[in-house]
Copies of this chain bind each other. A is one copy, B any other.
Amino acid sequence: MNRAELISQIKAKQSFLCVGLDVDKEKIPTFLLDFEDPIFEFNKRIIDATHKYCVAYKPNIAFYESQGSKGWDTLEKTVNYIPENCFTIADAKRGDIGNTSKMYAKTFFETYNFDSITVAPYMGEDSVTPYFGFKDKWVILLAATSNVGGLDFQYRNIDQGKMLFEKVLETSLEWGNKDNLMYVVGATRADILKKVRAIVPDSFLLVPGVGAQGGSLKDVVLNGINKDCGLLVNASRSIIYAGNTEEFALDARDEALRMQQEMAAYLKEFQII
């Protein structure tokens, strides 16, 4: 999916919600365990229930990988089940030397047909650029994450008073552009979002941390929105585990709708729709 198509989906659905599919077998309703592939059954119902209100899905690859090769089959079925008009994100946080990155790109863009993959910047240019050889596919680069460990290195000063994540953003602009590169920016610190926007005003940001992790949608919008919206706000647990009964999918739908409604209001306020 290219940038114009993504923006058009955001406008059509009046939503910039991404639903994170961090699906843990121990957390899904127990009645699903009778199915041959309980996680796929769960995902199918979550997707059916939420796809009208979100523009993207983000399976967290760790959760599938932990099920062995069966988990990868579940992942494949899940990606194939996601409607064409939704942007797909392989939350894999890969990062390795050139020939290995090329392998990862092949895996997620060709074998599994994801639109994008999250990538870690520590190994630099040749760990990122191999992903750019694929049409309408995206790198979503870790910039400023919202976990507590993010403080260890990302917000430290590097070179002339810049923080490491700022250096990552600046350097990445030598590799890619707003048509093939997005950034992961945590929702829990508004001041950081402002600094990010100063360097990449036009890029899309994938913002986790709203919902279960405590970030505020309002702060994210006030500091992160741009003229094309430029945001994909992810919620995982607060949506997919909104309920735990036979009606879990309806509960998830309600929560997605609630977030979509809030997002629609912001899109109007900022005259994007």
Contact = CB atoms under 8 A, between A and B. Distances in A.
A229 to B, nearest CB: 25
Given A66-B111, A69-B72, A153 B164 contact: yes
Given A93-B94, A96-B93, A66 B104 contact: yes
Interface string A105-119: 011000110000000
Contacts of A126: 147-149
A62 B103 contact: yes
A85 interface: no
Interface residues of A, number: 57
Contacts of A123: 93, 120, 142, 145, 147, 149-150, 154
Contacts of A128: 149
* Pairs A-B, 3 closest by C-beta atoms: A124-B149, A124-B152, A69-B72
Interface of A: 22, 24, 60, 62-63, 65-70, 72-73, 76, 91, 93-101, 103-104, 106-107, 111-112, 120-128, 142, 145, 147-154, 156-159, 164, 167-168, 171
